[in-house]
């Protein structure tokens, strides 16, 4: 069933009053009666017709896509009944007998009735067109939202095995060269999976949970890399409860280790920090999440914003899906050596 959507009732009433007033002004230019009399009759007739059409549309047309043919009967019937009721009401208010036109001046009577029919039909069509347009826009927005949610879930399901496969590949390599460290790494992996796999099924979690997962992952990598890996997690207390996309920073940390620290003989340091951009309490406040390392840095050919690869692509696509153009990922070379990936997205 198509959802019925209208402008607010007050807006429709004001439109009806405006149209009725314009009709009264037009009649006064060609009619011997004064503006006041024409205004009273026009408002009584117009509001009666409008009220009957509103009632008919509300109670007898619940689905315009399927029941629009009912308007062919309901609108003319509402106009005729509303015209007669409005005329009787105006006659009562002004102590006049305008229905006498039916016998004395039938042409004028039928002319006013046909004009009322034309105006009533036009207004009903106007309401119908606007409501159908709004309904179609809402259906389109809903379809786009569902498509975006489906795409986001696909990206999330791609991320989880990607992280797991990378860890298992590192574990396989470590088994052959240092079984004891491999055992320790496996223990960390089991604990990591136990605490994170169930939580990773959610779309969002707190920033504190995001940092906790990164700490667990870095502990896994620390077993394999030893003192070559140093890390700092900087999360201000006032940001810990903020909701963020789950596992958003995981690919950036993996990317930093794989391309920045592992190729470097002495390894390096990773800093993960969170901060706010904009004044607190004002609209337009953004959350800034940075992953910076002191590794090998970026190759000259890759120092542009269009870098590819699963991790970066996955983060960018998630940001676009969730925030549109307001969510950005910027990857730059650090002058002192290393690289920095910064994610920015609105808090609202």
Task: For domain 178-346, give the fold.
Answer: Heat Shock Protein 90 (3.30.565)
pLDDT at 266 over 70: yes
* pLDDT tens sequence across 11-23: 777 877 887 788 7
pLDDT at 107 over 80: no
CA distances from 102 to 105, 106, 125, 140 (A): 6, 5, 29, 51
Where does the chain hold its CATH 3.30.565.10 domain(s)? Answer: 178-346
Taking residues 187-196, report their average pLDDT.
Answer: 72
pLDDT at 303 over 50: no
Give the number of other CB atoms < 10 A from CB of residue 80: 16
Binning pLDDT at 50, 70 and 90, where does residue 2 land?
A: very low
- The length of the chain is 348
What is the per-residue pLDDT for 201?
A: 62
* pLDDT tens sequence across 121-168: 676 666 666 666 666 777 777 766 666 555 555 545 554 565 667 677
What is the per-residue pLDDT for 200?
A: 54
Number of H helices, E strands in the chain: 10, 7
pLDDT at 203 over 80: no
Mean pLDDT of the chain: 76
Using CA atoms, how far apart are residues 307 and 297, in angstroms rounded to an integer?
A: 14
pLDDT at 93 over 50: yes
Binning pLDDT at 50, 70 and 90, where does residue 211 land?
A: very high
Looking at 50-59, 252-261, 306-315, 334-343, which range is the least confident one? 306-315
């Amino acid at each position: 069933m198509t959802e019925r959507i209208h402008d607010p009732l007050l807006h429709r009433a004001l439109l009806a009053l405006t149209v009725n007033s314009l009709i009264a002004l037009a009649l006064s230019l060609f009619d011997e009666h004064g503006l006041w009399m024409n205004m009273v009759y026009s408002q009584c007739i117009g509001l009666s017709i409008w009220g009957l059409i509103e009632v008919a549309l509300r109670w007898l047309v619940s689905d315009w896509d399927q029941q629009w043919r009912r308007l062919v009967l309901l609108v003319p019937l509402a106009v005729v009944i509303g015209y007669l009721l409005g005329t009787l009401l105006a006659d009562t208010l002004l102590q006049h007998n305008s229905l006498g036109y039916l016998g004395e001046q039938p042409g004028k009577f039928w002319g006013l009735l046909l004009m009322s029919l034309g105006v009533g039909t036009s207004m009903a069509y106007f309401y119908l067109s606007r409501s159908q347009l709004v309904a179609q826009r809402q259906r389109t927005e809903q379809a786009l939202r569902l498509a975006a949610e489906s795409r986001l879930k696909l990206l999330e399901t791609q991320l989880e095995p990607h992280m797991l496969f990378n860890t298992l590949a590192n574990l396989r390599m470590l088994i052959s060269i240092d079984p004891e460290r491999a055992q320790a790494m496996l223990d960390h992996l089991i604990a990591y999976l136990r605490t994170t796999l169930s939580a990773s099924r959610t779309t969002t979690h707190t920033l504190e949970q995001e940092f906790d997962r990164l700490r667990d992952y870095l502990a896994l990598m620390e077993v394999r890399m030893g003192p070559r890996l140093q890390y700092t997690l900087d999360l201000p207390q006032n940001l810990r409860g903020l909701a963020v996309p789950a596992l958003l920073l995981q690919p950036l940390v993996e990317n930093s280790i794989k391309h920045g620290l592992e190729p470097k003989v002495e390894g390096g340091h990773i800093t993960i920090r969170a901060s706010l951009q904009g004044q607190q309490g004002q609209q337009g406040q953004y959350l800034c999440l940075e992953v910076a390392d002191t590794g090998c840095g970026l190759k000259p050919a890759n120092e542009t914003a269009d870098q590819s690869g699963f991790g970066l692509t996955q983060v960018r696509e998630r940001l676009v899906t969730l925030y549109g153009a307001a969510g950005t990922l910027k990857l730059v070379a650090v002058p002192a050596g290393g690289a920095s990936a910064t994610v920015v997205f609105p808090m609202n």
